[in-house]
Chains A and B, each alone.
Chain A
Amino acid sequence: MPSDASALQLVLTGDPALVAIVWLSLAVSLSAVLVAALFGLPFGALIALTRFPGREGLIVVLNALMGLPPVVVGLAVFLALSRSGPLGSWGLLFTPQAMVIAQAVLVTPIIAALTRQTIEDLWSEYREELTAMNINATRRIATLIWDARFSLVTALLAGFGRAAAEVGAIIIVGGNIDGFTRTMTTAIALETSKGDLPLAVGLGMVLIAIIIAVNALVWTVRRAGERLAG
């Protein structure tokens, strides 16, 4: 980022470097939420609907994992993806994919835990009716997930918020490479350390604005959906 331009100038003129960074941030965080949802939604629903020994303990652990420190996750993924690590042959260290993996690891417990809570609450409401309607297990899960979709969207949003805001994991596994793995949060960290505080603040405001915009978009979609389906 040309450091003699003011932060506001960059934002208003749509500086291509800034646009690229914003684009990457969104791509990484949204991909991470997608992957986390793919694993977290069914897993959370499964725990909600099945009984097995140690279930309570698993739920406690799952809830605790919502607070996984990002930097610890970053370190773990880094060690796994390093050439000297078990998954080194994938060659993913210092790439956007590594950042997606790290954030997906962070976000999956959030989505799974919130899904479990939502589905369990809805199941206690629907249980008798669905049993009386002779609905089989797979269809039950699909029904619960669909009928709980608005609450689940909130869970996804919580996951997205976590991913978009964190820097500790992605700076370790991504390497903050200029033009390649530099996102909004890592750019803010960098510009801060270079002492360009006005630019860092400007980037910070753009990041917050984007997060608010995503939330507003989901809110609108949710309201429209609720009006249609009740």
Chain B
Amino acid sequence: MRAPTDDLPIRFENVTVSVGAVTILDQIALTLVSGAPTVVVGPNGSGKTTLLRAAMGLVKPSAGRITWGERENVPPARRAIVFQRPIMLRRSASGNIRYVLGSSGIAGAERKARIGEVLALVGLEHIADRPARRLSGGEQQRLALARALARDPAVLFLDEPTASLDPAATKVIEDVVCTVSEGGIKVVMSTHDIAEARRLAGDIIMLHRGRVVETGAATSFFNTPKTGEAKKFLAGELLI
């Protein structure tokens, strides 16, 4: 079990993110704490991706502030993110892992072991030497996950990681998410798949049009949603 780390809790204090005249996140106030996975749900365009990127530290709020462990502007040393369409470096699969371990202080045999470990976790050890950009979509997603985990993060963000994957690859990703969550890593993940949210979530954040509509423990969200939007969303009737 991992002790609570410096980056948590992640606190959004009245955060607004706008690009030009468009408001993507509207006065968000929430807190991410260590524990079971937090899953962010909501229809397309509700701001899930931006929320995750802001929590990662990649997006500067136009108003309000974000703190990590009560501090502002913490570099992402202990956080990692798997993007919806991850970019592979022009190296082999193991080369990608080796790259992120470059500034980790691990070297030699220990590093080699770690690379093997993390590739095995996502089931890619058999193609360690293949050029990463030649991997299939599912393999690249798994490699991106391995790459994020290799950095030994305290918080792991995943932005719709299974959106374009087949059921087999989806299962691999979800299994890994469960495993690392049980191992003490705080997982914050977005999905448009309600069934997946049910499978993985410890607690839910629901977004609609850039606003937090409802939050709470997963069981209470799914069984007894409080807001009208949440009810419609769970019934599959909330589109945009």
Direct contact of A and B (CB under 8 A): yes
- CB <8 Å contact, A134 and B76: yes
Contacts of A131 in B (CB 8 A): 58, 76
Query: In whole angstroms, how far apart are the Cα atoms of A31 and B25 in the complex?
Result: 55
Q: Interface residue count for B (Cβ, 8 Å)?
A: 26
Looking at the assembled complex, report how far the CB atom of A118 sits from the nearest CB atom of chain B, in whole angstroms.
Answer: 12
Quick one: which of B79, B80, B81, B134 contacts A230, CB cutoff 8 A? B134
Contacts of B100 in A (CB 8 A): 133
Write the B56-82 contact mask toward A (1 if CB under 8 angstroms, else 0): 101000000000000000011101110
Query: In whole angstroms, how far apart are the Cα atoms of A132 and B76 in the complex?
Result: 6
- CB <8 Å contact, B81 and A126: no
- CB <8 Å contact, A129 and B131: no
Contacts of B222 in A (CB 8 A): none
B45 at the interface (CB under 8 A from A): no
Quick one: which of B90, B91, B132, B151 contacts A133, CB cutoff 8 A? B151
Contacts of A133 in B (CB 8 A): 76, 80, 100, 151
Query: In whole angstroms, how far apart are the Cα atoms of A143 and B88 in the complex?
Result: 13
A58 at the interface (CB under 8 A from B): no
- CB <8 Å contact, A129 and B90: no
Write the B110-132 contact mask toward A (1 if CB under 8 angstroms, else 0): 00000000000000000000111
- CB <8 Å contact, A135 and B86: no
Say whether, besides A132-B58, A139-B102, A230 and B131 are in contact (CB < 8 Å). Answer: yes
Contacts of B107 in A (CB 8 A): none
| 4 closest residue pairs by CB, A with B | A230-B131, A147-B90, A230-B133, A134-B76
